[in-house]
Structure 1
Amino acid sequence: MWRMTRVAAIVGLAYGFIGSAMAAERIQISSNWGQVTATLVDNAATRGLAKMLPITVSMRDHLSQEKTGNLPAPLPEVQRQVEFSAGTLGLWSSADFVIYYRAGRVPQPGIIMLGQVTGDVSIFDRPGPLTIKIEAAD
């Protein structure tokens, strides 16, 4: 019995390491202005976002630094941060999706970090609303 318990513990530990070593989730964000790919961080909010995909989000410009839009459902709350860079994907509130096209800082409580665009985020640096489609990247 002791041996079976020990083997089960080793298998469970190994599974935990394999699960945490999974490849980063990548998404594609496309609009009539162009498309970019982003790599998501690993947290409860991004796992919730991945389950929603594909989704379409109506975005509007805010403060000439970001595009914001409402997700179809809220995502889990996780740790927030106040600094962001051009290409940061985040959440203001649990359902307010943000794409930053300039670097900066936000007031407390900060934003929930979702990921980082790996393409040219300057495609969003123009006035006016747009509609984006977010889907899993190939």
Structure 2
Amino acid sequence: MARIAGSTSAALLLTLFMGGSAMARDQIRLSSDWGDVTAELADNAAARALVAMLPVTIEMDDHLRQEKTGDLPTALPEAPRQRAFTVGMLGLWSTSDFVIYYRNGKVPPPGIVVLGQVTGDVSIFDRPGKVRVTVDAAR
């Protein structure tokens, strides 16, 4: 693959990877006592349903020193799943288990629904313990 320079080209590749065209995507903000980050959402039914329930506050636990995970108030619809995850990916394990990945890795079948990608420094979540995260529309 040819090397692509500049943040615009990198953003275009990320957009295409997450499901389609280079049109603008919805963005959300994840706020906690540990800091705030923004994320660009994937183009799928689960991500659209997440936007419809915002704002939402999620009590999140650390899981396997690779992710923060917590229950959404209601289930999201199914969407295509994959097994690999990358730093900053937002995912859905079960239909209501919201996940923020701060390391790379793989999950067992059936895999995760990709909800989006953090565009800020996701390392704020790379620490043991619980955290309360509020998810709302980015401004």
Q: Same fold (TM over 0.5)?
A: yes
Structure with bigger gyration radius: 1
How much is the aligned-residue C-alpha RMSD, in angstroms?
Answer: 1.1
Output the amino acid matched with 2:40.
T
- The equivalent of 1:53 in structure 2 is 54
TM-score, with length taken from structure 1? 0.84
Is the aligned partner of 1:73 residue 2:101?
A: no
Q: Hey, which bits of structure 1, 4+ residues long, moved more than 6 A?
A: none
Give structure 2 stretches of 5+ with no counterpart. Answer: 1-20
Output the amino acid matched with 1:115.
G
Matches within 5 A, 1:10-49: 23-49=24-50
- The equivalent of 2:14 in structure 1 is none
Give structure 1 stretches of 5+ with no counterpart. Answer: 1-19
Output the amino acid matched with 2:122.
V
TM-score, with length taken from structure 2? 0.83
Q: Distance in 1 between matches of 2:106 and 2:22?
A: 31
Deviations 1:41-90 (A, max 9, x none): 01000110000000000000000000000000000001100011000000
Secondary structure of residue in 2 paired with 1:133: strand
Q: Distance in 1 between matches of 2:23 and 2:125?
A: 30
CA drift of 1:22 comes to 5.3
CA drift of 1:103 comes to 0.6
